Structure 1
Amino acid sequence: MVKLQLKQVNEQNFFDVINLKSDEDQVKKFQIFERWVGSNAFFIALSSVKGWTCKAIYDGETLIGFATYGYDHEEQRYEMVSIMLGYQFQGKGYGKKALSLVLNAMVKEFNCEDIYLTVIPENAQAIHIYKSLGFEATGEIFKAFHDEHVYCLKVNDLKETVV
């Protein structure tokens, strides 16, 4: 039985979080950017200057993923900045549930009406999950390490709620 929860990144789980990799070939590497997402260490560091929230995603007591979210002052909007699952946990039905958990935490914490995210256009699996929850492409391109497409979710259109 899946029991997902968000936990603070702290001294006890910090190294586990930064060593969680989205792709098996990343395990022996330390890079700022992985194949589909920036490294967890990168987002923890960036959050310290942007004021974003970092959360470890657990199934019970097992660390399975990581998310970063908050208000982007430059864009003047709430963003789910990053979400990732460890490669060992991908393809096991966690993606949509973990994303829903983070989105619901954002709505509860910020009472936001819209949530934005960016995604590399070749990441078809992520785009499928985002669209299944109600995200729609805005037509914007975010210039980052890769050109990323911008998607927006109208919170009233959120198609799944995690309780």
Structure 2
Amino acid sequence: MHIKLLEVTEDTFWDVINLKSDQDQDQQIQIFERWVGSNAFFLGACYVYGFVPRAIYDNQTLIGFTSFGYRKEHQRYELISIMIGHQFQGRGYGLPVLNAVIDEMVKMYNCKEIYLSVIYNNDRAIKVYEKRGFKPTGEIEKGHHDEPVYCLKLD
């Protein structure tokens, strides 16, 4: 496993857009998928809000997408989205990908805390976040779904 976070380019745009988190989504175009907003939605959010989009690769294979940055509205650094394509789920990518994103955020921003929100019943994602040290803050992010907010405090 060799995880890399790379820029989304003209050459990779459609591959990133077509990567879905749930097999049922493969034949649909929707703004929100079951567990996460679509990659198209988050690429748009990156453009509007100045977040950083990254395609997630294992060696030369596109396996996911993430976006992160400083969220002015909350005045903190946030992991805005992270998804692994459905065909790559269950292969142990969760924690290595999360660690790569955290490393990139620390390198770019020298941040001491990272926040994220997650759909309340996305048990697999919550397990990975908590394993990495994210703790619930008690806040609820109001969006398409009510999502509990988690924070990772970095030393």
In 1, the alpha carbon distance for the partners of 2:127 and 2:94 equals 10
Q: CA deviation at 1:91?
A: 0.2
Which amino acid is 2:138 matched to? G
Which residue identity is paired with 1:99? L
TM-score by structure 2 length? 0.99
Spell out the pairing of 1:118-137 with structure 2 (5 A cutoff): 118-137=117-136
Taking the aligned partners of 1:114 and 1:34, their CA distance within structure 2 comes to 27
Equivalent position amino acid for 1:54 in 2: P
Structure 1: segments with no counterpart, 5+ residues:
157-163
Please list the CA deviations of residues 64-122 of structure 1 after superposition, one character each: whole Å capped at 9, or x if unmatched. Answer: 00000000000000000000000000000001100100011000100000000000110
**C-alpha RMSD of the superposition:** 0.4
**Consecutive aligned runs of 4 or more in structure 1 exceeding 3 Å deviation:** none
Q: What's the TM-score, normalizing by structure 1?
A: 0.94
State the alpha-carbon separation in 2 of the partners of residues 117 and 155 from structure 1: 14
Unaligned runs of 5+ in 2: none
Residue type of the alignment partner of 1:127:
I
Task: Name the amino acid aligned to 1:62.
Answer: T
- Correspondence for 1:153: 152
- The aligned amino acid for 1:132 is K
Amino acid at match of 1:45: G
Report the Cα offset of residue 155 of structure 1. Answer: 1.3
- Secondary structure of 1:117's counterpart equals strand
Alignment-derived partner of residue 59 in structure 2: 60
Q: Which residue of 2 aligns with 1:141?
A: 140
1:115 partner amino acid = I
Separation of aligned partners in 2, 1:105 and 1:46: 19
Report % sequence identity.
Answer: 56
Letter paired with 2:143: A
Deviations 1:94-151 (A, max 9, x none): 0110010001100010000000000011001100000000000000001000000000
Partners of 2:26 and 2:15 in 1: CA distance: 12
Q: Distance in 2 between matches of 1:82 and 1:46?
A: 10
Letter in 1 for 2:97: A
Task: Tell me the equivalent position of 2:41.
Answer: 42
Matches within 5 A, 1:1-163: 2-156=1-155
Structure 1 CA distance for aligned equivalents of residues 59 and 71 of structure 2:
31
Whole-angstrom CA distance in 1 between matches of 2:3 and 2:73: 32
SS of the aligned residue for 2:32 comes to: coil
